[in-house]
Structure 1
Amino acid sequence: MSFVQTLQEPKYWLLGIAAGLMTINITLMWKYAPVDVVGTSLLFWGGAAFLIWERYESFKLQSGPISSILGVAIVALILLKSATLNSYDIFLRLSPFMSGIGLGLIASGIKGLKQYWQELFILGFMSISTGLLLRIFDISPLTAKFSALILWYLGFPVTRQGIYVNLPTGSIEVYSGCSGYSAILQLLGLSILFLFMFPTTRKQKIYIPLAAIILGFIVNGIRVALMAFLVAYSNKESFEYWHYGDGSLIFSMFGVFLLGLFCWFFILRNEPENLKIDP
């Protein structure tokens, strides 16, 4: 196929637009968003791109003029808003889902959006923020209680008052950013990606996300317990490293490792059986 013929293929135009929107969003995330949000963004964008690549030959690319105009308008709105951003904004979380809707309308119209439900679900999952979940149910007191329990089992003279974990020489406040929702959302999103990419049974579709939620809460609780220990018995530099620096990423990687180990032990090791049970 010549270069001119390639340019005449709609799918290549769609690919170029998608790559551009993804690059813009990731660049802005990298510049303005917290580190954990950046990692989650890369993970979900990559997962959606992988699913598209696996199934692109089965998509029906047929759209009408109204759907195409609406899709172009959404893409234009994303580009205009992205050009004016100079700080972190909730739009950065909404942008991937909006991009998926806009591209889907251009490619296949309103009726054809159902072809991309998996990719849209993944990109839409990125829109969920910890602030929204905290308004529904604040788990910070539970996190503080669990972290205090860890320290108590380790033999430290710890007490708890609401969201405060107290040691004789220092205390910490388990505020919204340390509640655990960020770690839970990251692992839950990873579990959803896993369910879309690998064959699983009905029971596995339930307990894999459940395991992700539990692991996210436990790993974050261990991290908060470490923060309390560092405040009470260490120096400020150590606390900042594990709280804000690269140390915080270690806990994120540890959570992903545990979930991956869980999925490998219970799912991938028996993949041939899963194919027979729930193809």
Structure 2
Amino acid sequence: MNRQNSIQNTHFIVIASALLLAWFFVYQSAVLGMEAIWSRSDTFAHGYFILPISLWLLWRDKDYLLKAQPEFTWLAVPFLAGSLLVWLIAYAADINVLGQLSAICSLICLIWLLLGNQLAWRYKFPLAYLIFAVPMGENLIPWLQDVTAWFTVAFLKINGIPVFRDGLYIQVPTGMFEVAVACSGIRYLIASIAVGTLYAYLTYSKTYKQVLFILFAIVLPILANGIRAYGIVAIAYYSDMEYATGADHLVYGWVFFGFVIMIMFWLGGFFADKADDENKPESLSAQASKKLNNIIPSTALLALLVSYFVIKAVPVVELPEDHAKASAQYHSTWGIQFVDAIKVSYQAEADDLEVFVAQYANRQTQGELVAWQNVTHDYERWTEVAREALVIANQPVMLVHLRDIAGNPRSYIYQYKIGDFYTVSRSKAKLMQAWNSLTRQSDFSEVRAISLAGSVDLSKVSKKLQARFESLSAAESSLEK
């Protein structure tokens, strides 16, 4: 029996190693991309600790785990196939965060496939906790900035400090403050959720307590960041802008966040479930060895290899040597910025009209059309007053009205052109890029924008804008010749 178990264990280790190596082979760009973000971003530096924490959670139950007999399961295969399909779409559209999420989900599915349903369910939390390794959540920054500004103004009014808010700018009698990206509290929120979720799992055995504490870990840092921002403005106001206006307010923020986390754990400890015999892991009785079904891991391995060869068929465009120079040769009035484009066209025309076009490959060695660093206006200089969806020259466009800190208005319209498809939605643009790449309909896309000084009266400028968009549509793309 011992010899049979030894052979079975060796068989399992060989199959598991082959599948995990195949997983890394397919997802190596996503895994290395995650590590690169962990190393350069304070917001996601906790990603280095997620896998060790998950392994430690498994090792806590080693007495049970080492005696358990794994049993391959078919149930994980369709979930693995779905995750690989998401990977193909993410790779073709160059959506890094979606590809990284697919990598982690595929890893969870493979472990589930190898351990079987019973063991995978027992270790569902250590497996699910791997999701926190994915550097995601930056799309919440604009919303968090608005919430922080709202809390700051509300607390200042309660305190009796005169305040005026214009978008993300907050003005008090002694000076003006901006709720910048660093003030959004995204770092505090993501770290609090990751730590709070682990604390809830280790401290509570009842599901409702775990859910309530995780919700508490989400709400508390948002509220605390609003109090922190209010404190910075209040300190600057009462000190006549001597304190809390430079780097010291960042240090103050981290100290304050550490205090908030300590309070969160202290309060959570009052409701901790006491350890008793019912919560101790049950012992595992001797199990008879079962013959492992090699067809299941073979199917998973085949799916991984097929996805690898499909993504290799997606064309990747090498950037020309002068792409950086081309991207740096324009300085628009309203601050549009699209970096690492293959080709950039910028023209300042009569009547203070500016035209901007940036062309990208659907997938290129560096840069992408839809990325966080690509913006249609300078958010630090301009405040968005309003936007409206329109149709010009039978094409959808978005009209955006801006105002700077001095009250000067400016407007612009923009759209994305993905092959022969036009949209103003970033998500639709990404999906169409993926579709065009996988079906080889078109390998290139572009963003178009036209800006005018003042508040645009469409009844007066519609003909001019329509003529300009028709000329852009009629021009043949030099990339696809």
Q: Which interval holds the TM-score relative to the shorter structure?
A: 0.5 to 0.7
Contact kept in structure 2, 1:97 and 1:124, CA below 8 Å = yes
Superimposed CA distance per residue, residues 37-80 of structure 1 (whole angstroms, 9 cap, x where no aligned partner): 213x245334322221123433544448xx99xx9xx9xxxxxx
User: Amino acid of the residue matched to residue 59 of structure 2?
Assistant: W
Alignment of 1:117 onto 2:135: no
CA distance in 1, matches of 2:12, 2:278: 38
Contact kept in structure 1, 2:34 and 2:134, CA below 8 Å = no
CA distance in 1, matches of 2:261, 2:15: 35
TM superposition score normalised by structure 1: 0.64
Alignment of 1:193 onto 2:193: no
**Residue in 2 that maps onto 1:50:** 56
User: Amino acid of the residue matched to residue 48 of structure 1?
Assistant: S
CA distance in 1, matches of 2:270, 2:33: 35
**Residue in 1 that maps onto 2:229:** 224
Aligned-CA RMSD value: 4.9
CA distance in 2, matches of 1:13, 1:264: 43
**Residue in 2 that maps onto 1:130:** 137
When residues 171 and 11 of structure 1 are mapped into structure 2, their CA distance, relative to the original with a 3 A threshold, is: farther
Shift in Å at residue 242 of structure 1? 3.1
- After superposition, residues 32-181 of structure 1 pair within 5 angstroms as 32=40, 34-39=41-46, 41-42=47-48, 44-56=50-62, 57-58=64-65, 60-63=69-72, 90=97, 94=101, 97-98=104-105, 100-101=107-108, 104=111, 107-108=114-115, 113-127=120-134, 129-133=136-140, 138-181=143-186
**Residue in 2 that maps onto 1:28:** 36
CA distance in 1, matches of 2:100, 2:159: 39
CA distance in 1, matches of 2:249, 2:14: 44
User: Amino acid of the residue matched to residue 127 of structure 2?
Assistant: L
Shift in Å at residue 217 of structure 1? 1.1
CA distance in 2, matches of 1:48, 1:152: 45
Alignment of 1:239 onto 2:246: yes
Q: Which is helix-richer, 1 or 2?
A: 1
Contact kept in structure 2, 1:215 and 1:258, CA below 8 Å = no
Superimposed CA distance per residue, residues 216-266 of structure 1 (whole angstroms, 9 cap, x where no aligned partner): 112211232244344971368x622433xx544323322321211111123
Contact kept in structure 1, 2:72 and 2:114, CA below 8 Å = yes
Q: Which has the larger radius of gyration?
A: 2
CA distance in 2, matches of 1:223, 1:123: 30
Q: Secondary structure at the match of 1:38?
A: coil
User: Amino acid of the residue matched to residue 227 of structure 2?
Assistant: I
Q: Secondary structure at the match of 1:156?
A: coil
Q: Which is strand-richer, 1 or 2?
A: 2
Contact kept in structure 1, 2:185 and 2:225, CA below 8 Å = yes
User: Amino acid of the residue matched to residue 54 of structure 2?
Assistant: A
**Residue in 2 that maps onto 1:79:** none
Segments of 5+ residues of structure 2 without an aligned counterpart are 1-8, 84-95, 281-481
User: Amino acid of the residue matched to residue 204 of structure 1?
Assistant: K
Alignment of 1:252 onto 2:257: yes
When residues 227 and 90 of structure 1 are mapped into structure 2, their CA distance, relative to the original with a 3 A threshold, is: farther
Q: Secondary structure at the match of 1:165?
A: strand
- Greater RCO (Cα-Cα under 8 Å, separation 6 or more): 1
User: Amino acid of the residue matched to residue 104 of structure 1?
Assistant: I
When residues 191 and 36 of structure 1 are mapped into structure 2, their CA distance, relative to the original with a 3 A threshold, is: same
Contact kept in structure 2, 1:101 and 1:113, CA below 8 Å = no
When residues 120 and 142 of structure 1 are mapped into structure 2, their CA distance, relative to the original with a 3 A threshold, is: same
Q: Secondary structure at the match of 1:28?
A: helix
Alignment of 1:183 onto 2:188: yes
When residues 263 and 134 of structure 1 are mapped into structure 2, their CA distance, relative to the original with a 3 A threshold, is: same
**Residue in 2 that maps onto 1:82:** none
CA distance in 1, matches of 2:274, 2:43: 31
Contact kept in structure 2, 1:61 and 1:107, CA below 8 Å = yes
When residues 35 and 160 of structure 1 are mapped into structure 2, their CA distance, relative to the original with a 3 A threshold, is: same
When residues 31 and 47 of structure 1 are mapped into structure 2, their CA distance, relative to the original with a 3 A threshold, is: closer
Segments of 5+ residues of structure 1 without an aligned counterpart are 1-6, 75-88
Aligned length: 256
When residues 127 and 169 of structure 1 are mapped into structure 2, their CA distance, relative to the original with a 3 A threshold, is: same
Shift in Å at residue 134 of structure 1? 5.3
In terms of mean alpha carbon deviation, does 192-201 or 150-159 score higher? 150-159
User: Amino acid of the residue matched to residue 146 of structure 1?
Assistant: F
Shift in Å at residue 205 of structure 1? 2.8
Shift in Å at residue 29 of structure 1? 4.4
CA distance in 2, matches of 1:107, 1:49: 16
**Residue in 1 that maps onto 2:410:** none
Shift in Å at residue 169 of structure 1? 2.8
